[in-house]
Structure 1
Amino acid sequence: MTSTKQLSRVFIAITMVIAFFATSSLQYSTGAPSEACITMLPHHGAAVPQSTLSPYSFTVSSSHVVQGSNVKVLISTHRYKYIKGFILQARCALDQNRILGHWTNLSSFTKTTSCNSKDDTVTHVSNVNKQRLPFQWNAPPDFLGAVIFTATIAENFDIFWNGVKSNSLFVTSDLTTSTTSETSPKSTFTISCSQLTIQNNTLICKLKDGPLDMITWRK
């Protein structure tokens, strides 16, 4: 009887261990949970974000993008670090709770999910080690202003960095301004001044022989 109880306890313990590791593996392989949309935290048990400098960085193909157009975005790390999981969004620089745009042209290791609007968030689908993740972000057609790419990136189940950010990207109008300059033949001449003074953006030249002569000078 005692032996049967002991075997039951061992079986329960093994089942709990298997369930724990299955849950951990599932969290790695299926992407960030929907609860991460706002906080961008992976909900990995008791794990908390690292306070050290992140080993991950952003590269963006341009510092400006026209409304409705797109830019290339790359997340990378150095040779001794890897990316196991992540969640990535573009947020308004002035209101960082506002998620903007949508993502396309993803790699086979990633997928889009929808937090506030369709395809506005990217996360992982595989727990294989990754060092470079390319994306294409499409700017909304009705937004003007600065955008910051923001990510939470996990090195493994227990070690992750929250709030990894890019430099600002500026979404601009498609209106362009052109200027026309008119040129005319120029002549040069020399004036000898005995005294030069500036008053109210006016250059005053006192000629050596004659009265004051005034020449307008613009900054």
Structure 2
Amino acid sequence: MRGTRSTQTPEAFQMKTKGCFRLLLVELRHSLMEMLPGLIVLQLLYLADCYPNGAPTGACEDMLPRHVGVLPQPSRAPYALPTNMRTYQPGVHVTVTIVGPDYRGVLVTGASTNALGGWMLPPPDTTFLQCSGNAQGAVSHANTNLKGNSSVYTWVAPDTVLSPDYFMATVAQPRTVYWINVRSTTLSSEKLSGIGLATDASAGMADQKPFLLFLICFLLLQSLA
């Protein structure tokens, strides 16, 4: 007895193929959903571990720590950058403190990206960072240990004082939460202040010249009378 061969219409074949693809997509989606938490954890670990031993050299340009996918906080920074003096001379030591909550990551430099002067031996858990060719142009974190108000940074003014100076800092706590452009008050140069005083004195003498000439002429006329 000859067996009968089943026939399948093109429409039925397409329906079966679509069913297989749908089943495959469902399985793939289910697998991705199971993997998603692990991927998120890996991403967070990657972000949290960015540059644990100090900011990259490129951070000197814009004070950004280069944390991939993480933006600086838009709110006002809960930190201040007080200094021990308001004026400075060439070679003088200025101490800078980051006052606020404890922090883990830091980048502090003088005169923003100019990296003028240099820093003395950094406090514990921090290290030098080369900026603008200056090997001691900035200080950054050396690890992720907590740092606080007891960390004092000492800056040495450059030998040539050309303009007022100030300090800039980026502070992170932890690395996914950070603030940039934490700025100190401006330190004026005593050398420039002296020049300003001399200029003012010269201007004062110039203002008094007409009066002096009048006085001399008056005295001459009196002597001839």
- The normalised TM-score by structure 1 is 0.64
Cα deviation, 1:96-134, whole Å, max 9, x if unaligned, reads 542211001321111111111120011001212222221
Query: Gaps (5+ residues) in structure 2?
Result: 1-31, 196-210, 212-225
Contact preservation (8 Å) 2:169, 2:180:
yes
In the other structure, the counterpart of 1:89 is 109
Contact preservation (8 Å) 2:72, 2:178:
yes
Query: Gaps (5+ residues) in structure 1?
Result: 1-8, 178-200, 202-219
Contact preservation (8 Å) 2:48, 2:174:
no
Kindly indicate whether residue 67 of structure 2 is the aligned counterpart of residue 44 of structure 1.
Answer: yes
- Select which of 50, 54, 76 maps to 1:53: 76
In the other structure, the counterpart of 1:214 is none
Q: Percent identity?
A: 24
Structure 1 counterpart of 2:63, which letter? Answer: M
Alpha-carbon distance, 1:50 to partner: 1.2
Distance 2:105 2:49 in 1: 11
Distance 1:176 1:97 in 2: 27
Distance 1:175 1:163 in 2: 27
Cα deviation, 1:121-158, whole Å, max 9, x if unaligned, reads 11001212222221100000012321110011111122
Contact preservation (8 Å) 2:166, 2:187:
yes
- Select which of 89, 96, 115 maps to 2:131: 115
Contact preservation (8 Å) 1:144, 1:172:
no
In the other structure, the counterpart of 1:173 is 191
Q: How does 1:1-219 map to 2 (within 5 A)?
A: 20=43, 23-24=46-47, 26-77=49-100, 81-91=101-111, 96-116=112-132, 117-132=134-149, 133-173=151-191
Alpha-carbon distance, 1:176 to partner: 7.6
Structure 1 counterpart of 2:83, which letter? Answer: V
Alpha-carbon distance, 1:20 to partner: 4.6
Distance 1:175 1:43 in 2: 39
Q: Secondary structure at the match of 2:91?
A: coil
Contact preservation (8 Å) 1:67, 1:144:
no
Larger Rg: 2
- Shift of the 167–137 alpha-carbon distance from structure 1 to 2, 3 Å rule, reads same
Q: Secondary structure at the match of 2:61?
A: helix
Contact preservation (8 Å) 1:84, 1:155:
yes
- Shift of the 47–17 alpha-carbon distance from structure 1 to 2, 3 Å rule, reads closer
Distance 1:174 1:33 in 2: 34
**Size of the alignment, in residue pairs?**
165
Structure 2 counterpart of 1:59, which letter? Answer: P
Structure 1 counterpart of 2:146, which letter? Answer: N
RMSD after superposition: 3.1
